[in-house]
Structure 1
Amino acid sequence: MKRTALACAVLLTALVGCSGGAQPPADARGTTSPSRAVWKPRPGLAWQWQLDGRVDASADVPVYDIDGFENSAADVARLHRAGKKVICYVNVGAWEDFRPDQDAFPSSVLGQPNGWAGERWLDIRQLTVLRPIMERRFDMCRDKGFDAVEPDLVEGYGNDTGFPLTARDQLRYNRMIAAIAHERGLSVGLKNDLPQVPQLVGHFDFAVNEECAQYDECGKLSPFIAAGKAVFHVEYTEPRSRFCAESRRLGLSSMLKEPELGAWRRPC
């Protein structure tokens, strides 16, 4: 599901691996030391998810997930000064006609509309075409100072994209996306794509999920929790009384949000 509502060689050498190695001690908020190349969010961290416009920094939580294009390096720095970790939302599975790099996508990779105004599915089989575009988007996230990336729409194979995508195509693409993030010292989250959690949990540093409680699927995210990786979860229509107790039992970081993903939130 989409929201109802973006070299490494030097960094990798200097920090002895972007995604491996021993874990540093966690700080008081459960996050890893700032000296660590890739941030590793732990289960239970509270978070804010705001994709509607520039960030409202009033939520007293340690993690913010915000739009990478619509927020500036100054916005990220302001959150960092307040002690927050900041995740960069980027669409990697669909073309958007309102993004500044819209002309970088050749017509050959544009598929069916995905139900959101101005968006079309991408042919994720065309890795050589899409990789440099996504690298530039992740460069933007890194250069603005983000700690992590939330790549959206990484389950096109389960939708009517206009292309004969397979689960294998999606695994290949999602692993490439994770590698692009790690090459830039960015943590990366797996957005939804619950059927492929077992194959991808080792490649991603946390998960972001929409409405697993509504569809009785939250247990499928347990491999992330078992691996010590946060699961950032929202519901839109379920009352908190119907999902918060189970979320706490599973170790999810859950809250109720309005579909527009503005600043309003009601955490568990």
Structure 2
Amino acid sequence: MRRAAPAAVASLLSLITLACLAACSGGPAPVPVPGKATATGARWQPRPGVAWQWQLDGKVDPSVDVPVYDIDGFENGADDVARLHRDGRKVICYINVGAWENFRPDRRAFPRSVLGRPNGWHGERWLDIRRLAVLRPLMERRFDMCRDKGFDAVEPDLVEGYANNTGFHLTAHDQLRYNRMIADIAHERGLAVGLKNDLAQIPQLVADFDFAVNEECAQYGECELLEPFIAVDKAVFHVEYAEPTSRFCRSSRKLRLSSMLKRLELDAWRRPC
């Protein structure tokens, strides 16, 4: 395995690379575009404690004064992302990577052989994540959409199918391989990527993901399991649905989580810590 260059050397190499690009192309080095990765491959890295908004239901409300928005990648267009960028926000693209959804425009691209049991949400069925050759191009096209709309990051949902009754004999190894593929797809496009729940595999995956997204760790007494992300200065975006803020905000602040109370439908309403 090739060792990573020390930070100072890496920085110098980046400068040299930019200079070479400018000289070879006959023009100046690329100028970073707000909300997008630079030509040097840098991507957004959210830090612990940053405030956020998570809205997956209804037209996005851009009036919430927080630096990070997490919104549905299909339901929002490039103009919505651009407006949030103009207001100084970073924007995360919600994409379901673990289940087929019968209401998405690409639903017919999924062969029936990869569709498993219903997952409890209307119109959704688990995917056979062992079928990497089938699913990778489908997810690449979805992540291309996120990139082309100008998103800064991706929130891939349902990445712990191995712990559920999917209709397939999925193992923890299958899940690790699939989740790392998902992270690679995002990183190849200059997008940051978050690990959604999947607490048991955080020790193996914290190096592959740029932040975490968690639901209800306080209700189930699991928030300490997210500490590996905080320890390496990566944000943990956390919501509770049933617990009042008085029961989790103090511990969330101590752990440096980005916590808030939301309704289960994930509309615009929020009550942050």
Question: Is 1:247 matched up with 2:247?
Answer: no
Q: Distance in 1 between matches of 2:43 and 2:179?
A: 18
Check if 1:205 corresponds to 2:210: yes
The more displaced of 32-41 and 150-159 is 32-41
Distance 1:160 1:59 in 2: 37
| Paired residues, number | 241
- Superposition TM-score, scaled by structure 2 size: 0.86
Question: Which residue identity does 2:211 align to in structure 1?
Answer: F
Residue 131 (structure 1) aligned to one of 136, 140, 160 = 136
Answering whether residue 117 of structure 2 is matched by residue 101 of structure 1, we say no
Q: Is the 8 A contact 2:36 2:43 kept in 1?
A: no
Distance 2:223 2:181 in 1: 25
Residue 172 of structure 1 corresponds to: 177
Query: CA-to-partner distance for each residue in 1:151-196, whole Å, 9 max, x for gaps?
Result: 0000000000000000000000000000000000000000000000
2:224 maps to 219
Consecutive aligned runs of 4 or more in structure 1 exceeding 3 Å deviation: 31-36
Residue identity over aligned pairs, in percent, reads: 78
Distance in structure 2 (CA, Å) of the matches to 1:155 and 1:53? 26
Distance 1:111 1:63 in 2: 34
Please state how far the C-alpha of 1:37 moved relative to its aligned partner. 2.8
SS in 2 for 1:86: strand
Cα distance in 1 between the residues matched to 2:162 and 2:139: 19
Secondary structure of the corresponding residue to residue 212 of structure 2: strand
Q: Residue 32 of structure 1 contacts residue 41 of structure 1 at CA under 8 Å; is this kept in 2?
A: no
CA distance in 2, matches of 1:87, 1:93: 18
SS in 2 for 1:169: helix
Q: Which amino acid aligns with 1:251?
A: R
Q: Which runs of 5+ in 2 are unaligned?
A: 1-9, 12-33
Rg bigger for which structure?
A: 2
2:83 counterpart SS class: helix
> Residue 58 of structure 1: CA displacement?
1.0
1:62 partnered with 2:67: yes
Amino acid at match of 2:126: W
1:38 shift after superposition:
1.1
Aligned match of 2:198: 193
Deviations 1:206-235 (A, max 9, x none): 000000000000000000000100000000
Q: Answer whether contact 1:37 1:186 (CA < 8 A) is retained.
A: no
The whole-number CA distance in structure 1 between the counterparts of 2:229 and 2:247 is 22
Report the Cα distance in structure 2 between the residues aligned to 1:53 and 1:114, rounded to whole angstroms.
22
1:143 to 138, 145, 148: 148
User: Which amino acid letter does the alignment assign opposite residue 215 of structure 1?
Assistant: Y
Give the Å deviation of 1:32.
10
The answer to whether the 8 Å contact 1:57/1:79 transfers is: yes
Whether the 8 Å contact between 2:35 and 2:150 is mirrored in structure 1 is: no
Q: Are the equivalent residues in 1 in contact too, given 2:37–2:191 (CA < 8 A)?
A: no
Q: TM-score, normalised by structure 1?
A: 0.88
Structure 1 distance, partners of 2:141, 2:233, is 30
Distance 1:150 1:188 in 2: 6
**Deviation at residue 33 of structure 1 after TM alignment:** 9.8
Match of 1:57, as an amino acid?
A: P
The corresponding residue for 1:4 is none
| CA positional deviation for 1:62 | 0.0
* Letter aligned with residue 42 of structure 1: R
Q: How does 1:28-43 map to 2 (within 5 A)?
A: 35=38, 37-43=42-48
Structure with more relative contact order (C-alpha pairs < 8 Å, separation 6 or more): 1
